[in-house]
Amino acid sequence: MTGFLIQRLLQAIVIMAVMSVIVFAGVYAIGNPLEVLLPPEAPQDIRDAVIKRFGLDRPLWEQYGLYIYNLFQGDLGRSYIYNEPVLQLIFGRLPATIELVLTSVIGALVIGVPLGIWAGYRPNAFSSRAIMAVSILGFSVPTFWIGLILILTFAVNLGWLPSGGRGDTVEVLGVAWSVFTLDGWSHLILPATNLALFKLAIMIRLARAGTREVMLSDTVKFARAAGISEGTIIRRHVLKLISIPIATVFGLELGSTLAFAVVTETIFAWPGVGKLIIDSIQNLDRPVMMAYLILTAGLFVTINLVVDLVYALLDPRLRRRAAP
């Protein structure tokens, strides 16, 4: 197990290093960010002075070297746009994204898996067909459209819920959270639903496919022959056997939603990191882009590692194989 962990950590470091080079070169290739940021009427001498001040007149390798040097000193730079330290800017907005994403992904898991198992257990029932039809909608209708329809229905026409923003927050452990206030929930429910629909559809389909397969297996046949009740079979055997693909997808979805909840955040004016990163790309705010992409790479590497560990917990065979 330790060997496995060390191997994974080394891989992670290489991935991060390669990633930082690619991103830096890519951002450099778009062009000088100051061409977007400098006021158009600035005369050449002011342009040159500002470009020099930000070190953008230096060659690519020198800029990259300086960036990495500062990175190891814990300095990711200041945003060109907000002049705040990049980490402060990102972590200030991360809780908003985290609570939105966790609510939607966990919601999708808790609702989607039972529905999927039911649809796989009774594939021909009317309710199962209805569940599958809804899941196709969740897959195929674009997020931004559903988001706007949700706003139109619940905020504009019915007036039940606010159209956007985050609502009241309370400080827990020094961070502002809105999941602990009623007003916060009223703001959270629409964007979380919007974000959850696609994941819900995936969970349903994965659970259904897994269940249909497992129901035909010898395990279930023997269990039935032994007189174990259907409820116990589903809890003890089916759920366990279908959980590996679900854990994988759950991990990946969690990561990608955390990193790229952009569309939902934009439509619902949710003050998370998604909007920040999109705007920083549009403004070529290089320090924010770099820091965010590196953090995202780190996030995926971590999630994949955790998912691998969860496999071992879920499946005793993997646990025994990995043992030294």
Partner 1 sequence: MKPFSWAIALGGLLVATAAGAQTLTVGVRGGPESMDPHFSALGPQADAVKHIYDTLVGTGVDLQLEPSLATSWEPIDDVTWEFKLREGVKFHDGSDFTAEDVKFSIERIPNVTGPTTMEIYIRRIADVEIVDDYTLRITTDGPAATLPFDFVRLFIVSSAAAADFSDIESATEGFNSGEAAIGTGPFKYVSWEPKGELVLERFDDHWRGAAPWESVVRREISDDSSRLAALKAGDVDLINYVSSADYLALERDNDINTFLGDSVYVMNLQLDQRDETPKVYAKDGSPLGENPFQKKAVREALDLAIDRETMVDIVLEGLGTPARQLMPEGFFGSSDEIEAKPYDPDRAMELLAEAGYPDGFAMDLYCTNDRLPGDGAICEGLGQMFAQIGIDTNVNAISRSVYFPAQARKEYSAFMNGWGTLTGEASYTLGSLAHSPNEEVRMGAFNRIEYENPEVDRLMQAGSKELDADKRRAFYEEAMKLTVEDRAYLPIVVLQTVWAANADAVGDVATRADEETLAFYIQPAS
Residues that bind partner 1 (CB under 8 A): 30-47, 49-50, 54, 79-84, 89, 92-93, 148, 151-152, 155-156, 159, 162-165, 168, 181-183, 186, 266-269, 271, 275-276, 279, 281-284
In this structure, the dihedral spanned by the alpha carbons of residues 127, 133, 138 and 140, taken in order and rounded to 10 degrees, is: 170
Report CA-CA distances (Å) from 169 to 114, 152, 261, 314: 32, 25, 20, 37
**φ, ψ at 120 (rounded to 5°):** -85, -30
Smaller CB distance to partner 1: residue 22 or 125? 22
* Residues 199, 112 contacting (CB under 8 angstroms): yes
**Cβ at position 40, least distance to partner 1 in Å:** 5
Smaller CB distance to partner 1: residue 30 or 136? 30
Smaller CB distance to partner 1: residue 197 or 241? 197
**Cβ at position 143, least distance to partner 1 in Å:** 13
**Cβ at position 293, least distance to partner 1 in Å:** 15
Smaller CB distance to partner 1: residue 15 or 281? 281
Smaller CB distance to partner 1: residue 96 or 307? 96
**Cβ at position 4, least distance to partner 1 in Å:** 41
Instruction: Determine if residue 38 is left, alpha or beta; phi over 0 gives left, psi from -120 to 50 gives alpha, anything else beta.
Output: beta
Taking every pair of C-alpha atoms in the chain, what is the biggest distance, in angstroms?
87
**Cβ at position 21, least distance to partner 1 in Å:** 21
* Number of continuous H segments (helices) and E segments (strands) in the chain: 15, 2
**Cβ at position 30, least distance to partner 1 in Å:** 6
Smaller CB distance to partner 1: residue 4 or 82? 82
Distance CA 232, CA 34 (A): 64
Nearest to 301 by CA among 12, 2, 1, 4: 12
